[in-house]
Chain A
Amino acid sequence: NAGVTQTPKFRVLKTGQSMTLLCAQDMNHEYMYWYRQDPGMGLRLIHYSVGEGTTAKGEVPDGYNVSRLKKQNFLLGLESAAPSQTSVYFCASGVGLEQFFGPGTRLTVL
């Protein structure tokens, strides 16, 4: 099992560009999550999904959109990237409250 994988691992964007981060899990988990982690801020929940076709806002959803068309995939979109979105993005999946994290995507917005 690969667990939770994220694509890409690194990305540099210019302000205003768009991109999609892909998260995939092979553990048949219902719940999936997108977090961002910034120095001194800890992990903050952006959006989450409790099942295929459902999504909900977390603590810091502004500037992001998500989709969960397939149970195993959870996509995070940035429509118009801003420097404030420079961060490390972690995807997680879980059953119950135990969450398994992907390796992260390091995004820099110039």
Chain B
Amino acid sequence: RKEVEQDPGPFNVPEGATVAFNCTYSNSASQSFFWYRQDCRKEPKLLMSVYSSGNEDGRFTAQLNRASQYISLLIRDSKLSDSATYLCVVNGPSGAGSYQLTFGKGTKLSVIP
């Protein structure tokens, strides 16, 4: 099983739509979870951390289910500027120092006018 798995997409959604991305991780010892955003031909940038109780940042909501080892990202009222690849990130891999991160391959989102 891969460490972090994501649906690669692409997700093509109209402006204003709500879209959800899912991610599963294999390391049950992972304690820290993140969503990064990567624009085409650019570097990844931290979008938000994911907390156990779920957290919201404007139009973005992240959820964590430790029992199912599942992370989600919900984007409401999609904007054209949300078009990017969204990377699910978990600390690990198994046996590594806690300062290492494992990245999913990313889910590509295209918001269409």
Tell me if B's interface is mostly helix, strand, loop or mixed: loop
- Across the interface, B91 reaches (CB within 8 A) one of A43, A45, A97, namely A97
Expressed in whole angstroms, the minimum distance between the Cβ of B87 and any Cβ of chain A is 7
Choose the segment among B13-21, B51-59, B73-81, B99-107 that binds chain A (4+ C-beta atoms closer than 8 Å): B99-107
In the complex, A59 Cα to B104 Cα: how many Å?
A: 14
> Which residue of chain B lies nearest to A43 when distances are taken between CB atoms in the complex?
B103
Q: Is B9 among interface residues, defined by CB-CB distance under 8 A?
A: no
Q: Is B61 among interface residues, defined by CB-CB distance under 8 A?
A: no
Expressed in whole angstroms, the minimum distance between the Cβ of A101 and any Cβ of chain B is 4
The number of chain B residues with a CB under 8 A from chain A is 20
Tell me if A's interface is mostly helix, strand, loop or mixed: strand
Contact across chains for B99 and A42 when beta carbons are under 8 A apart: no
Q: Is A50 among interface residues, defined by CB-CB distance under 8 A?
A: yes
Q: Is A74 among interface residues, defined by CB-CB distance under 8 A?
A: no
Expressed in whole angstroms, the minimum distance between the Cβ of B24 and any Cβ of chain A is 14
Contact across chains for B106 and A42 when beta carbons are under 8 A apart: yes
Q: Is B42 among interface residues, defined by CB-CB distance under 8 A?
A: yes
Expressed in whole angstroms, the minimum distance between the Cβ of A110 and any Cβ of chain B is 21
Residues of B within 8 A of A31 (CB): 99
Q: Is B32 among interface residues, defined by CB-CB distance under 8 A?
A: yes
Q: Is B46 among interface residues, defined by CB-CB distance under 8 A?
A: yes
Contact across chains for B44 and A101 when beta carbons are under 8 A apart: yes
**Could you list which residues of chain A lie within 8 angstroms of chain B, going by C-beta atoms?**
31, 40-43, 45, 48, 50, 58-59, 90, 94, 96-104
**Could you list which residues of chain B lie within 8 angstroms of chain A, going by C-beta atoms?**
32, 34, 42-46, 49, 87, 91, 93, 97-101, 103-106
